Each structure stands twice: as C-alpha cells, then as structure tokens.
Amino acid sequence: MATTNFEQNVKVTGDLTATNYIGNGSQLTGVSGSASKLDELTDVSTAGVQSGYILKYNGTSWTTADESGGAGGGDVTAVNAGTGITGGGVSGNLTINVDVGTSANKIVQLDSNAKLPAVDGSALTNVISSAAMNNLTDVSTAGVTSGQVLKYNGTSWAAADDSISGGGALGDITVSGSTLSSSGATITLDDNVVVSGTLTSSQAGAPIFTSASTLTLQATTRTTIANTPIKLASFTTTDRNALTSADGDMIYNKTTNKFQGFANGAWVDLH
C-alpha cells in the first residue's frame, strides 16, 4: 500500500483510527491511547504518593514506595534473633530484646537499685574474695596476736591491743590485764564502784578518804578498825560549839582534854 502525504492541515470530524502513529504525536489531542500524566498510564498507580517517594514494581504494576526502605522498601526479608536476643520475625513492626535472666545462657541485668541480682559466681576469676578479713582493701591483720582488736588508724583498720580488757592506754590511765594504773593525780569515777577483793592503798604517808558531805562506813555485821587505834577529831570548846552536832557524835576536846560525845542534845564527857 502506498503512502499518502499531506502538505497541509487535515481536519477529521469523525474518528481517526490507525494501527500505529509514527512521528511526534505531542500535538495530537483527543487521540485514544495517549497519556500526559503518570497516573493516566494503565499500569501505574500514584495513590498516596508523598514527597520523596519512588515508583516500585510490585509484581503486577508500578506503585509508589518510600525510597528509604519503608512501605516495602529495602531488601530485608527477615529479622532473626541471634545469641542473647529474643523477638524478631519476617513481617510487620518487629521488636528485638536482650535475653536477660539469671539462668543458663542468659544475660545478667542490673536491678532497679543498680545492683547485680543473685547469681552463682563460683566460676568467676580474678575476683578478690571477702571470705577472709585480710582480703578487704581497708583492713590489715598483719602481725595480729591473740586478744587484739581492729582499730582505725586514720587510714585503714589494723590490729591493735584492746585498751579495755587486753591492754592499752586511755590518756594517763593504763590498763594491763586486771591492773589499772594512772600517772595523773586523780582518777574520777562517776558511778558506784564494787570491789570484790581487798581495797588497798600503797601510797606513802597517810591516804585520805574525802567526802563533800557525810562519809558512811556500812557493814552487815560490824565495822572493825584492825591493827591500829582510831583517832577522833580534836576541837576546842569554841570550835565544838560551832559544829552542827547530832546525837552519837564523838570528838576529843583539846580545851578540856576530854573525850566527849553528843547525847540527848548536849556534849558530855566520856571519862
């Protein structure tokens, strides 16, 4: 069949049908099968398109997809949980977790107080054991002997004598075994003192018992003065009369050279 060429415009008021259109068809209008936009193509859908999306073939047609890999992007086909991990899957919104716990093959996690949970640590190595006192970093028991105690020396705890029962010093008071010694002039005791043995003074001269008020010697049976005489206080008659006396008091009156006692409200000679 020969080709017919037209050198001028051709206007067709009916339908123009052809097997193929050859040449630049951009000026054709109203021609069946032409498309000026992507979504006018029969195998393309741009529904839901957003900025940055691409066209991706889904096996049937071209559809919009997120270039970053979402909405079907990327080449990940599955998320598998490896050693120490749980979760994963092959589709959907996937989550993986650390496989924590205290049983076999678990990963230990600190508790809410930032402490390790109770675990069997028998297989740990290079860990200093605190089963012995001397393994503690702030304790030294070097040179310790029987009866000593731990005493803080300003830096660490170290072995030292027990200043209460085994020996040591408290100011000018020294305790050695059952002996209490003092280099000072006075030891003041604020509590009652119970002596189960004999109270002995080794002071040279005349030891003195002093009381700010009445001094009472109290015995269950009697009070005995042994080995030496008892000496009463000496007063002149004038000094005696100035005393606040009570029945039973006795003195030596050095004005009259008489032993006197206070009886029934008056002083009387005893000889």
Q: Answer whether residue 151 is part of any domain.
A: no
Structure letter (DSSP) for residue 95? -
Of residues 104, 103, 81, 82, the one with CA closest to residue 94: 81
Is residue 271, in this structure, part of any structural domain at all? Answer: yes
Domain-embedded: residue 155: no
Question: Quick one: 39 and 71 in the same domain?
Answer: yes
Residue 244 falls inside a structural domain: yes
d(CA 180, CA 174): 6
Identity at 248, one-letter amino acid code: G
| The pLDDT of residue 71 | 46
pLDDT at 231: 92
Assigned domain for 139 exists:
no
- Indicate if 106 and 71 belong to the same structural domain: no
Q: What is the pLDDT along the chain (271 residues), one digit of tens a residue?
A: 667 777 777 777 877 776 666 655 555 555 555 667 787 788 888 888 888 889 888 888 889 888 765 444 567 788 888 899 998 888 888 899 999 998 888 999 999 999 988 888 778 887 776 777 777 888 888 889 998 899 998 888 999 887 665 555 667 777 777 777 887 778 888 888 888 888 888 777 788 888 888 888 888 899 898 888 999 999 999 999 999 999 999 999 999 999 999 999 999 999 8
CA distance 151 to 167: 13
SS (H, E, C) 223-261: CCCCCCCCCCCEECHHHHHCCCCCCCCEEEECCCCEEEE
Which residues lie closer than 8 Å to 5 by C-beta, 6 or more apart?
Answer: none
Amino acid symbol at 62 = W
Q: Looking at the domain assignment, is residue 200 inside a domain?
A: no
Examine the fold and report which residue of 91, 124, 157 is the final residue of a domain before the chain moves on. 124
Q: Quick one: which of 151, 160, 156 has its CA closest to 138?
A: 156
Same domain, 243 and 270: yes
Cα 142 from Cα 127, distance rounded (Å)? 22
Distance of CA 260 to the CA centre of its chain: 76
Starting at the edge strand found earlier in the chain, the sheet holding 139-140 runs: 139-140, 157-160, 149-152
Total number of domains in the chain? 3
At residue 158, the 3 state secondary structure works out as strand
pLDDT of residue 221: 93
- At residue 31, the pLDDT reads 55
Give me the domain span that covers residue 99: 78-124
Contact 181, 173 (CB under 8 A): yes
Q: Do 66 and 53 reside in the same domain of the chain? A: yes
| Pair (41, 70) in one structural domain | yes
Question: Given this model, what pLDDT does residue 263 score?
Answer: 96
- Per the CB < 8 A criterion, the answer to whether 247 and 263 are in contact is yes
* 109 within some domain: yes
pTM metric for this prediction: 0.38
* Position 115 in a domain: yes
pLDDT of residue 181: 80
CA pair distance 82, 221, nearest whole angstrom: 94
Tell me, what's the pLDDT at 182? 81
- Residue 28 is predicted with a pLDDT of 56
